[in-house]
Chains A and B, each alone.
Chain A
């Protein structure tokens, strides 16, 4: 099979770029922890009221600047639908669904993950700017999907 000289140059350049991208995201993920949200824990979506974690969703303080937010996504909202943390806090979100597939998405951040019934998904974010953060569902979940949102209030220290 004959390959033109220029085509070889192009393929080396192109494939080289692909390898570079894979290298960058591979190192970012496996060496620096920038992994996509891929939590493996499961729950019984129909009996969340008996679940040790999700029967009482809400915000718990882990230390001075770290919080854990356990949330239940349900058509068409989140429980709780508002949380408040001080500026500079790192929040670990643990979310599951009580019915269909939803997402937990904070526009303008990298917190944007799927919430599948029966599974728990997680992400972490540090809120350095005070203000109101919008959380929305970006996976179609029924006729009221576009009403599904909650708020994170980041108050100045």
Chain B
């Protein structure tokens, strides 16, 4: 390390933090995220009550319209804005302020994303796009909905370009140095996002949009589904990886320790990049047109992507134990008392981790080839992803909001905010336990997902789904009501922390580098190599089945836009 670098290090130690101009960019992202969140939450409430048969929906509001809004606003808009906000703040904290040009690029990305998100939302509200957030052809939305989705994705690419370039410049100026964990992990996440969203972009731009505009008469349905799930599964990891970043980088600091191992953390993220994409067929296991062989091959690759989560489970728990013991904790379990249970910035992500245990197990079952018949498209799946993205990811993001928001707005994280946060976390956990637990069991009984209130002419089997003691649509609705209360409280927390809390300083809790930082193998930083292997795995897993879909395709499908209104 030369002298100039040392000087930089010293100034960074003296004045750590995020540049005010970068803070502004982040707070805009967070605000959009929370507005989308609260609308999405009320969408969820209406669904839960309507499906439970507790309220009728007004004639001007369709169940599937609300369902589309709920999915798009929460799964796509909330998560994506939150993640990019987090990344802009983190990269500015780690490598210093963005350059003027890159910040401008960040704002451009934000603007393009927002135009897309608003356009898509308007089309949903006009009931021109009740195709759910998976937009499976040949059900067809208004073409402007697809334009909205495209702009949204293009916006994320522009923002990704800004973040990746900022990191790349640092890398060029500091040859041979190990990348800080934050930028390493953000890079893996964004590369995964770009690689996978290319699939969605190809599907929309070359297949769906020309068809929705009437430029082509028909669309290859199976190909659009395949391209969607080529994107759709890595999308899940696009949510999970920033969540893991909080677990790896922020939680150790909050509990007063340091991360257990940097090499293993980096390895986990590389494995996510490699194995998240060539696995989309595990969402299409019950589908004709793809042979058993390719389905099984992608099942094997799916199981490979479990390994980085196994690594994470160990690393995080080991960090807890190591910290608890360093602080004088003894015995097999009494060191647990050393953890800061009363601090919501730790407690919310911790509850997220606990929920990830059943969520991860459920995921393994979903992906298990022919076993998928037991749960495919049932409420079990809905219960599953409400545990993963709806609890594990969201509680971790909430945990992040408690320090990120006041840091951005120059306010203090107060005792009041902490108390509200703890209550919020418990409410969310209880609501989700009821809702998701009931959904899992109903799913095993065969209750379908994405279906409005229905008893199928009072078929005894379907009626039983309303009459179970725990396994009932009523439990789902009760859980939904509690979740709504928790959602409203979280929106209050957002308002409080951005506008009302007393002025002051809040730090960015980032763990110091682990002890093995300098020994972490150099090859881990070889992004060209990882991208090459990612590409090879994708080519290997997808080329032959996609070739088959194109060459042996049946006559394509015309537009079906009449069925959604």
Spell out A's residues near B (CB within 8 Å): 1-4, 6-7, 10-11, 14-15, 18, 21-22, 25-26, 28-30, 34-46, 75, 99-101, 103, 105-108, 110-122, 132, 134, 136-147, 149, 151
Q: Determine the residue in chain A with the shortest Cβ distance to B451.
A: A146
Q: Indicate whether A121 sits within 8 Å of B287 (C-beta atoms), given known contacts A44-B554, A146-B454.
A: yes
Nearest residue in A to B307 (C-beta to C-beta)? A15
The answer for the CA separation of A122 and B221 in the assembled complex, in Å, is: 18
Decide if B136 is an interface residue (CB 8 Å cutoff).
Answer: yes
Give the residue among B263, B296, B519 with the most A Cβ atoms within 10 A: B296
Report if B161 contacts A (CB, 8 A). no
Please tell me if B369 contacts chain A, counting CB pairs below 8 Å: yes
B292 touches A29 (CB 8 A): yes
CB-based contact A145/B451 at 8 Å: yes
Contact assessment for A113 and B554 in the assembled complex, using a CB-CB cutoff below 8 Å:
no
Which among B190-198, B203-211, B374-382, B400-408 touches the partner chain? Answer: B374-382
In the complex the two chains form, is A14's CB within 8 Å of B445's CB?
no
Closest Cβ–Cβ distance, residue B556 to chain A (whole Å)? 8
Whether B564 sits at the interface, judged by CB under 8 Å, is yes
What 1/0 flags go to B445-488 for Cβ under 8 Å of A?
A: 11111111110110111100000000000000000000000000
Interchain CB contact under 8 A, A116 and B560 = no
Number of A-B contacts (CB under 8 A): 229
Given contacts A110-B373, A136-B448, 12 further A-B contacts (CB under 8 A): A2-B519, A7-B315, A10-B313, A25-B370, A29-B370, A36-B292, A46-B558, A107-B447, A107-B461, A108-B445, A116-B289, A143-B564
Write out, one digit per residue, whether chain B residues 292-309 have a CB within 8 A of any chain A CB (1) or not (0). Answer: 100110011001001100
* Count of B interface residues, CB-CB < 8 Å: 80
| A141 adjacent to B221 (CB under 8 Å) | no
Residues of chain B within 8 A (CB-CB) of A21 are 303, 364, 368
The yes or no answer to B132 lying at the interface (CB within 8 A) is yes
- Choose one: A2, A118, A120; the contact of B555 (CB below 8 Å): A118
Q: State whether B445 touches A120 (Cβ < 8 A).
A: no
In the complex, what distance in Å separates the CA atom of A39 from the CA atom of B448?
23
The interface residues of chain B lying within 8 Å CB-to-CB of A120 are: 288
- Residue-by-residue, is B255-268 near A (CB-CB < 8 Å gives 1, otherwise 0)? 00000010110010
* Pairs A–B under 8 Å by Cβ, sample size 9: A11-B314, A25-B371, A38-B289, A38-B290, A103-B286, A106-B446, A112-B376, A119-B222, A147-B454
* Chain A residues with CB under 8 A of B284: 114
Q: Is the CB of B64 closer than 8 A to any CB of chain A?
A: yes
B interface list, Cβ under 8 A from A: 62-64, 67, 130, 132, 136, 138-139, 221-222, 225, 261, 263-264, 267, 284-292, 295-296, 299-300, 303, 306-307, 310-311, 313-315, 318, 364, 368-374, 376-378, 445-454, 456-457, 459-462, 516, 519-521, 552-558, 560, 563-565
Pick the contact of B560 from A39, A43, A100, A105 — CB < 8 Å? A100
Residues of A within 8 A of B557 (CB): 45, 99-100, 117-118
Residue of A nearest to B51 (CB): A146
Cα separation A101 to B138 with both chains bound (whole Å): 7
* Chain A residues within an 8 Å CB radius of B376: 112-113, 138
Contact B555 A44 (CB under 8 A): yes
A144 contacts across to B, CB distance below 8 A: 563
- CB closest chain-A residue, reference B218: A46
A3: which B residues are within 8 A, CB to CB?
264
Contact of A116 among B287, B300, B454 (CB under 8 A): B287
User: Are A25 and B452 also in contact (CB < 8 A) when A2-B261, A37-B288, A143-B563 are?
Assistant: no
Residue of A at shortest CB range from B294? A38
A42 contacts B553, C-beta separation under 8 Å: yes
By a CB distance below 8 angstroms, the chain B residues around A7 are 264, 311, 314-315, 318
Partner of A140, one of B289, B450, B453, B560: B450
Report the minimum CB–CB distance from B500 to chain A (whole Å).
Answer: 41
Q: Which 6 A-B pairs have the closest CB atoms?
A: A107-B446, A118-B554, A142-B563, A138-B448, A42-B554, A146-B454
Contacts of A4 in B (CB 8 A): 261, 314, 318
Q: A22-B299, A38-B292 are in contact. Are A118 and B377 (CB under 8 A)?
A: no
Name which residue of chain B comes closest to A120, CB basis: B288
Q: Contact check, B553 vs A118: say whether CB atoms are below 8 A apart.
A: yes
Nearest CB of B to A44, in Å: 5
CB closest residue in chain A, given B131: A140
> Please, how many angstroms separate the alpha-carbon atoms of A34 and B285 in the complex?
13
Contact status B377-A139, CB under 8 Å: yes
A18 touches B306 (CB 8 A): yes
Check B369 against A143 for contact (C-beta < 8 Å).
Answer: no
